[in-house]
Amino acid sequence: MKQLIDYLEKNNISFDDETVAKFEGYRSRILELNEHINLTAIKDPEEFTLKHFVDSITCYNIPEYQDADRILDLGTGAGFPGVPLAILSPEKEFVLVDSLNKRLKIIMQLCDELGIKNVTTVHGRAEDLAKQEIHREKYDMCISRAVANLNVLSEYCLPFVKVGGYMAAYKGADAQNEVDDAKKAMKILGAVDYRLHDASIGDSGRDHQILLVKKGNKTPSKYPRKAGTPVKEPLK
């Protein structure tokens, strides 16, 4: 856990032994269960810590994240970035969404085992869930890591976000190019502004960026379109 502890200390993120124990427990159990169900391609513990834990928490000190109380993690997979952020932010509520229910059951099992009490999971596709009143425009922030290109991702995420809230997308070095291609789509879906936050780890350069998209208008009711359509026919 040295990489994680070093990152927390360097970025003035408060933690204690119980915090570290939760991270250690989650990593240990995911790697153990990974032998029976495909949860992650990363099997080395230190690489896991860097690419799943440290990468997930790079949004922690961003003001937009700090101001958010209710956060949806779309396409959470094995719980990233939602679970690491939930461990560090017990005062926030996290709703983790994925289309594979088997993974979500594991996440809840591990959260129960480790005493991570601010996580719930929802099984389904973004195109369906974002039409439901209990989810539509109910979140201060929708975060997503490695799910889709921005013009598709915006249609998945922005319908969940309250007016005045944010989408936070974990992106790579070509984030600005994605923004340029997706500006019209983001505007259609209610976005009014964006900024890129350098989330690089160590001296690796701007290879990790978090795109923060501010929602200023309601998303038109016809979005998201039916399941599968955003990928097949991205908004241009």
pLDDT value at 204 more than 60: no
pLDDT digits (tens, 9 = 90+) for 191-200: 999 999 999 8
Q: Domains of the chain, with CATH numbers?
A: 58-232 (3.40.50.150)
- Give the residue among 93, 103, 98 at the shortest CA–CA distance from 30: 103
- Give the residue among 223, 28, 4 at the shortest CA–CA distance from 128: 223
pLDDT band for 146, please (50, 70, 90 cuts).
confident
pLDDT value at 149 more than 80: yes
- Mean pLDDT along residues 147-170: 96
Radius of gyration of the chain (CA): 17
Q: Where is average pLDDT lowest: 162-176, 200-214, 217-231?
A: 200-214
On average, the pLDDT of the chain sits at 95
Sequence letter at residue 57: I
- Mean pLDDT along residues 29-39: 93
Give residue 206's pLDDT: 55
**Token digits for 133?**
């009143």
pLDDT value at 147 more than 80: no
- Give the residue among 201, 210, 122, 130 at the shortest CA–CA distance from 172: 210
CA distances from 63 to 7, 93, 123 (A): 18, 17, 29
β-sheet with 70-74: strand ranges across: 119-123, 93-98, 70-74, 139-145, 161-171, 209-215, 191-198
Distance, CA of 57 to CA of 191 (rounded, Å): 24
pLDDT value at 83 more than 70: yes
Give residue 84's pLDDT: 98
pLDDT digits (tens, 9 = 90+) for 99-135: 999 999 999 999 999 999 999 999 999 999 999 999 9
User: Which residue has better confidence, 146 or 9?
Assistant: 9
pLDDT digits (tens, 9 = 90+) for 39-77: 999 999 999 999 999 999 999 999 999 999 999 999 999
